Chain A
Amino acid sequence: MSASAWGLLALFLIVLGLLAWPLGRWLAALCEGRLPRWIERVEGPIYRLAGTSADQSMHWRSYALALLAFNAIGALAVYGLQRLQAVLPLNPAGMAAVSPDSAFNTAVSFVSNTNWQGYAGESTMSYLTQMLGLTVQNFFSAATGIAVAFALARGFAARSTDGKGFVGNFWVDVTRVTAWLLLPISFVIAVFFVGQGVIQNFDASKSVTTLEATAYQIPKLDAAGQPLKDAQGNPVTEDASTTMQALAMGPVASQEAIKMLGTNGGGFFNANSAHPYENPTALSNFVQMLAIFLIPAALCFAFGRVVGDQRQGWAILAAMTVMFVLAVLAVIPAEQAGNPLLPPLGVDQATGVLQAGGNMEGKEVRFGITASALFAAVTTAASCGAVNAMHDAFTPLGGMVPMVLMQLGEVVFGGVGTGLYGMLVFAILAVFIAGLMIGRTPEYLGKKIEVHEMKLTSIAILVTPILVLAGTAVAVVADAGKAGIANPGAHGFSEILYALTSAGNNNGSAFAGLSANTPFYNALLAVAMWFGRFGVIVPVLAIAGALAAKKRLPVTAGTMPTHGPLFVTLLVGTVLLVGLLNYVPALALGPVVEHLMLWK
């Protein structure tokens, strides 16, 4: 890696640490309910009106059912908005109703914090749908994830037990996280983005005449709207030319801020953070990356405070950072190495004063290799899914890194809340493995890990790989699944594997060559997103309840320390081993084969 790449990575991690540390204090206060008096005065009447109270804790079952009801209502609201947008206000472009299958997919996608987008925002969604449907769910889905992390942290922190497994109040958690965390920080970031040039208006699209005609090729579609292919399986295209360009407008900055902060990732525009109106400058790009990791990193510090031992939070953060840096060290050199087939054609891929060099296909010139590859690692390590470059155009190994980061279960920083609770589930597995090796009943943070917790942990860890691998298998054998592939062979398989990996792990990024806005993929991916989200949340809440009902044991000479380098190594090894064992065969059929074909 170049010195500038090392510098960018180091600067990113340092600034992240400086911002996340104080935010962790505030997150811990929110989790423990240690709020300023004026906030309690504001909240009190609202809770009374809603028939609840900040002191009214819930059993994990009630917490889970409240969470599911809240998110189901959210999904129905987003579905309804899309279907009715043609007759609703704030639709200057006169967008028609979204098709039922696409509306279903998008509703599940935004409620599950995935933000997979089978549609192009600027040509599909009205401003009302973007703001009242998608942006609102950006806040609520992020708050839901953080609420679950709070519940699990309380389960570990509970000292005295009444045996009932109370984990907090879901309604209070969602309200506090939304009002006192996500909204204020999003406001500050949105104002900053406007200063950088991100647009924020309600204007209709502007038509402009370009200086010269643009010739391009478009995929030829059959009567069913599917891309046509020739006898060799290559896409059939036709020539087109234009001197007109429509510049899409809209309230972008306000959506962009929570899109990154809430690790949602759903872009206002189809090009997402590669679009100059979403991410115009190198500085806005840097802040977007920081916003993605800010809450996941701060939650580690908050966890340490809540359980009364800040070293525990540092250990979780250290494990995440080690895996993240390893991923960055893989993806940047892979992209900087370029494509070996291009130099014989006279293409100069060397780094120079005037060019970034390397594989610039699908990347923005204003970001270059390093900021694009680092963004790809950040957005897939966290379950964000925003992109500032097209992952489908990465080199095989460069594209495999984002895929692997998702396949590890979105625990390398991960989504807001999901990253912490996912990593804590792996920590339980790690202490269980260590317990087996030394012949002691495993124990984590003073809580005995017994058969019940291990059953729940196994379910939480296995749900996602089952969804991803079974879904991929269905897609590669079904005609409707194969019809969406843009590139035949190993890369086509990678496109499908990436889509299911992204959906099942609630990331939302894509190898966008896959034509996924079809009833088949809209339904399949929605199922993966829904169960990948809530099929993990429910067992995690059950673990929280089981832990909350246990006594917290004192530390003794026989207690395995879970705050030192040995435990960090064990945790990293557990995450990598489980991830690799699940997915290596599938990866071998996709990006590994493609790499060997490219570099033969």
Chain B
Amino acid sequence: MDIVWIAALAAMWVAMAGMVVGLSKLGASKGERS
């Protein structure tokens, strides 16, 4: 049973890491590119 909840925690972590990657590709404004 523990493995299910630990896997859920891992999945939530992966989702947030994915958000980090996704937001960094969201597109930067001119200022950020300069």
Contact = CB atoms under 8 A, between A and B. Distances in A.
B13 A452 contact: no
Contacts of B28: 452, 546, 549
Interface string A505-547: 0000000000000000001001100110011001100100110
A459 B32 CA distance: 19
Contacts of B10: 72
A548 to B, nearest CB: 9
Nearest to A459: B23
Interface in A43-80: 61, 64-65, 68, 72, 75-76, 79
Contact of B31 (A68, A523, A550): A550
- Determine the interface band of chain B, counting residues with CB < 8 A from chain A: 20 to 34
A61 B20 contact: yes
Contacts of B1: 100
A68 B24 contact: no
B9 A107 contact: yes
B18 to A, nearest CB: 10
Interface residues of A, number: 42
B12 to A, nearest CB: 5
Contacts of A542: 20, 23-24, 26
Contacts of A453: 29
A463 to B, nearest CB: 10
B26 A452 contact: yes
B9 A79 contact: yes
Given A100-B1, A523-B8, 16 more contacts: A61-B24, A65-B17, A68-B16, A163-B32, A447-B31, A452-B28, A455-B27, A530-B12, A535-B16, A535-B19, A538-B20, A542-B24, A545-B32, A549-B34, A550-B31, A550-B32
Contact of B34 (A64, A108, A161, A534): A161
B8 to A, nearest CB: 7
B29 A451 contact: yes
Contacts of B32: 163, 165, 452, 545-546, 549-550
Contacts of A229: none
A319 interface: no
- State the 7 A-B residue pairs at the shortest beta-carbon distance, nearest first: A550-B31, A450-B29, A452-B29, A104-B5, A549-B32, A542-B23, A72-B13
A49 B28 CA distance: 36
- Chain A interface mostly helix, strand, loop or mixed? helix
A83 B26 contact: no
Contacts of A448: 29, 31
Nearest to B12: A530
A311 interface: no
B12 A531 contact: yes
A103 B16 CA distance: 21
A101 B5 contact: yes
B9 A72 contact: yes
Query: Among the interface residues A75, A531, A542, which one has the most CB atoms of the partner chain B within 10 A?
Result: A542
A101 B28 CA distance: 40
15 contacts: A68-B20, A79-B5, A83-B2, A104-B8, A161-B34, A450-B30, A451-B29, A452-B28, A456-B26, A523-B8, A538-B19, A538-B23, A546-B29, A546-B31, A546-B32
A64 B1 CA distance: 30
A165 B32 CA distance: 7
A165 B23 CA distance: 14
B16 A538 contact: yes
A551 interface: yes
Contacts of B15: 531
